Amino acid sequence: MFRKERLIEQREKSGYTQNQLCLLANVSPKKYKKLEDGITVPNCHEIERLARMLKISCDYLLGMDLPLEEETILEDLPTDSFAVRFARLMLEQDENIEDIVPLVEKSVSTVYGWRNGRIMPDTKSLVVLANHYSCSIDYLMGLSTRKESLSIS
């Protein structure tokens, strides 16, 4: 799950203050403070923006084991949407919406919304789906072409 210590470490390594990073990543200062204090977790859009600003992967922020030196630079990657990747993975596994609902503990309409691109999944659901499909969160979100599974530390 979300690793506040990695966020703090990478923010400091990048030379940003809390206020600078929250402005760059479009996260309210109040919410950002709660992220670094471990009171709340970022949603998938916030994870993506923070990772892009810090030039790290979403997987790294969410506790996946991937050495920083092996990370892919996110700005240079093709950008399939989450909905495209999710639909493709479901098709590859011969799964339907009803197969996913109990896995993520969400309603049928919520999972349809994900597949159709109307809404994005919450952080916990992203981790569950990445583990289920044995792929990285960055791959699932369309930020990387690196599909291999990573383990959560």
* Spatial contact of 83 and 129, defined as CB atoms under 8 Å apart: no
**Are 94 and 47 within one domain?**
no
Within-domain flag for 9:
yes
| pLDDT at 24 (0 to 100) | 77
**Are 58 and 86 within one domain?**
no
Within-domain flag for 73:
no
At 94-110, the pLDDT tens digits run: 898 999 999 999 999 99
Considering only residues 41 and 81, tell me which one the structure prediction assigns the higher pLDDT.
41
Within-domain flag for 74:
no
**Are 16 and 56 within one domain?**
yes
**Are 19 and 55 within one domain?**
yes
Grouping H, G, I as helix, E, B as strand and the rest as coil, residue 152 is strand
At 67-126, the pLDDT tens digits run: 544 444 433 345 568 887 887 788 788 898 999 999 999 999 999 889 888 899 999 999
Residue 108: domain span = 82-141
Residue 102: CB atoms within 10 A of its CB come to: 8
Is residue 53 pLDDT above 70, yes or no?
yes
| pLDDT at 37 (0 to 100) | 95
| pLDDT at 152 (0 to 100) | 52
Please give the model's pTM, rounded to 2 decimal places.
0.56
Q: Which of 67, 77, 57, 53 is nearest to 144 (CA)?
A: 77
* Spatial contact of 24 and 51, defined as CB atoms under 8 Å apart: no
Q: Which residues of 57-81 are buried (b: 16+ CB within 10 A; e: fewer)?
A: bbbbbbbbebeeeebeebeeeeebe
Q: How many domains would you assign to the chain?
A: 2
| pLDDT at 42 (0 to 100) | 93
Within-domain flag for 87:
yes
CATH code for the domain in which residue 41 is found? 1.10.260.40
Sequence-separated (6 or more) residues with CB below 8 Å from residue 143: 48, 51, 57, 58, 74, 77, 79
Within-domain flag for 151:
no
Within-domain flag for 70:
no
